[in-house]
Structures are given as structure tokens and as C-alpha cells.
Structure 1
Amino acid sequence: MDGTARTLVILAHPALEQARIHPPLAAAAEATPGVAVRDLYETYPDFAVDAPAEQADLAGYDHLVLQFPFYWYAAPALLKEWLDVVLTHGFAYGDKGERLRCKTLGCAVSTGGGALARQTEGLTAKDVGLLLRPLELTARLCGMRWAEPFIVRDADLTDQAALKRAAAAYSDWLGGLGR
């Protein structure tokens, strides 16, 4: 961990090399003062998450951001595995589980979409909020503050100018977590 990093971004994208929005978002995060980025699929390609190391590392941060694309209305599998093995009873919640108390949990998510997303049946801001509700409740269970999520919609249709704007907005959002 960089000595000045106060925010840890846990990046979970199973096909980052093919992604459009998450590489520029990750680059913006890495360039933001006080932010460190960990790519779960690069760190744990075998899904064998080192829970003790992850837990020890989390102690050094004030803010935790989960960055991921929605896949079938959920987070990618490795992020779920990370949550299951790292945020355990006795560490994150329950008896003596106060290691994350008063830290911030936020999510930076993308949705695909196109025309379907803009139709009545498509994902709305309310829908994204509902999909993130389990993570919001996780924050509450762990005694963490919940940050309003950073959302990029229609990521598969976003042009280069919009990608640059989204990356700049993400950097600003990350910088504002401590305020």
C-alpha cells in the first residue's frame, strides 16, 4: 500500500482486456491521489483469495470501493467470493468484528444496455439501487458508511469523449469520499 493511499478500489472485471469503460476508470483511480487499485482477477486468477492478507491490508484504508460491471444483474463471481471470505464474522461484523467500522463502502458500477436500457423495462437508477442493496446492507452490517454509488450506464455504447468524462467524474467521486 502507498503510504498516502486512503482509498482501496477492488476492481472485479473478468474480461478487463475486452472492456471499454473499466480500464479508463481504473486508470483514473490509479492516478487519483490517495487511491490504490487491486485487480482481483489479476491477483487471484484461481479464485483462491488470501483472506488474512486482504483483511490485514484493509486496516490501512479509510474507504473501500468495489468497482465492477453488472453481469446478469449481479457482481462478478470473484467479487462475491472475495466478500464471502474476507468480510467474515469476527473481522467485519459480530463479536469483535469491528475492523471496518466507520470506514466507507462505495461501488463504482457499469451497466450495458443500449436501446433496451432506455425502454421502460430497462435498468433505471432505482433498479441499480435495488441491485446494490445487498452491498448497502453489507456496509450497515459492518458498521460502514454507505457512499452514493458511481454509475456508468450504457457502457457498451459510450464514445471516447464520454469515456474521458466518466473517468474524470470517477476521479472526482473518489476524491470526495472523505468529505
Structure 2
Amino acid sequence: MSNLTNPSPSAATLVIVAHPDLEKSRINKRLTTELEQRGNVTVHRLYETYPDEKIDVAREQALLTAHGRIVLQFPLYWYSSPALLKKWMDLVFEQGWAHGKGGDKLKGKELLIAISSGGTGSMYQAGGFHNYSYSELLRPFQQTANLTGMIYRPPFVVSGIREVSDEQLEKYAADYAVYAEGQPVLSRA
């Protein structure tokens, strides 16, 4: 459930949760629940809000304008985001609003990426099973930040999701809330 009604000025963070089946996702569901329980960020469940994929661009732009930190949370699908998040970005980050002449509405805002993946971290490196690091695979998001004048922050990654214990998941959820709030996560070990 999204908590979008009247985001308070203190809710500086907007988290766009883009998981096609969040209720069946152990990792993303727990991360989202942690944010909602804390209540100091605006959580926006994209697939729940737009099951028909008819995105209200003006509404989404107003949400982005009202927040200084934007977190895109999603499972890494085929080395990218789920389709609805890509469509959302294509429509919402339009020329003249997010980039190009007069397109400065996102300038100076922070962009954070929070992903989960089935593969372990060692699989995402040169010579690993997937050949590329998470950082390399997320370059399109980093370049989007560059183009729109946003400040790109290092990603929050939960890898090897099938092996994450309940205790580890609780630690990840707490660290994720700190990350989303814009505070440095000191250790994830």
C-alpha cells in the first residue's frame, strides 16, 4: 500500500518500488515494509498504482518535485529494471521537464538505486558468471542522473537472495531504511 496522501515536507525521500509481484517477494516486500513502518519516507508501489500501466505523468512529476531524494527499488531483471519502471521513466522524465531546454525539475535531487538479485555478488564481476559488476550494469541509471542533473549515489544491493537468512534480511531491512533516508550505511557484513 502506498502512503502517498499528502507527503509531509519532512518526507524528503520518495521510494519508487517497482516489483511486478511484491507480495510474493520475500526480499523486496520486507524492504518495503521496513520503510512503511518507519513512516519517514514516501513509498510509492508502482505496479499497485498502475496495474493497467496507464501512468499519470503529471501526478508522478508532482511527486518527484516534492522530494529531494528519489530511490528506485527493483529486482534486477535481465540486467535491467522491470518493464513498468522503464516505461515510467520514459514517460515521466520527459524532455523539457527532466532534461533538455527548460528541463531542470530534477536538478540537484539525489538518485539512489536499490536492487535485489538472485546471483551472488561474486557472480557480478569481471570473469564472474555475469561478466559485469552491478555498477557497470546500472550505468544507464547513472547516465540518467547525469542527464537530468541529479546526484547519483552508490547503489544498495541485496544479492544471492535465495541464501539470505531471516537474520540477514532483518539487517538488510534496517540498513536499507538508513540508506533510503540518506544516511551512510556503515557496514553490511
Q: What is the TM-score of this pair, normalised by structure 2? A: 0.87
Give the 3 Å change call, closer, same or farther, for CA 20–122 of structure 1 in structure 2. farther
Q: Residues 101-154 of structure 1: CA distance to partner in whole angstroms, max 9, x if unpaired?
A: 000011000110269938953358x61101110000000000000011101011
Which residue identity is paired with 2:129? G
Partner of residue 171, structure 1: 177
Structure 2 gaps of 5+ residues are 1-5, 185-189
- Please give the secondary structure, in 1, of the residue aligned with 2:26: coil
- Asked if 2 retains the 8 angstrom alpha-carbon contact of 1:147 and 1:177, the reply is no
2:11 to 2, 5, 16: 5
**1:156 Cα deviation (Å)?**
2.1
| Range with greater deviation from structure 2 (113-122 or 57-66) | 113-122
Distance 1:64 1:115 in 2: 24
Partner of residue 128, structure 2: 121
Partner of residue 59, structure 1: 65
Distance 1:64 1:111 in 2: 20
Is 1:23 aligned to residue 32 of structure 2? no
- Please give the secondary structure, in 2, of the residue aligned with 1:99: coil
Structure 1 gaps of 5+ residues are none
| Range with greater deviation from structure 2 (67-76 or 1-10) | 1-10
- Asked if 1 retains the 8 angstrom alpha-carbon contact of 2:69 and 2:111, the reply is yes
Give the 3 Å change call, closer, same or farther, for CA 115–2 of structure 1 in structure 2. closer
Q: Residues 11-32 of structure 1: CA distance to partner in whole angstroms, max 9, x if unpaired?
A: 0001112111001110122234
Distance 1:118 1:101 in 2: 31
Q: How does 1:146-157 map to 2 (within 5 A)?
A: 146-157=152-163
Identity across the alignment (%): 41
Distance 1:106 1:10 in 2: 10
Partner of residue 130, structure 1: 136
Distance 2:177 2:122 in 1: 29
Q: What is the TM-score of this pair, normalised by structure 1? A: 0.91
The count of residues paired between Structure 1 and Structure 2 equals: 177
Give the 3 Å change call, closer, same or farther, for CA 138–114 of structure 1 in structure 2. closer
Higher RCO structure, 1 or 2 (CA under 8 Å, sep 6+): 1
Partner of residue 80, structure 1: 86
- Asked if 2 retains the 8 angstrom alpha-carbon contact of 1:114 and 1:156, the reply is no
- Asked if 2 retains the 8 angstrom alpha-carbon contact of 1:111 and 1:153, the reply is yes
Distance 1:15 1:46 in 2: 14
Is 1:49 aligned to residue 55 of structure 2? yes
Partner of residue 96, structure 1: 102
How well do the aligned residues superpose, as a CA RMSD in angstroms? 2.1
- Please give the secondary structure, in 1, of the residue aligned with 2:133: helix
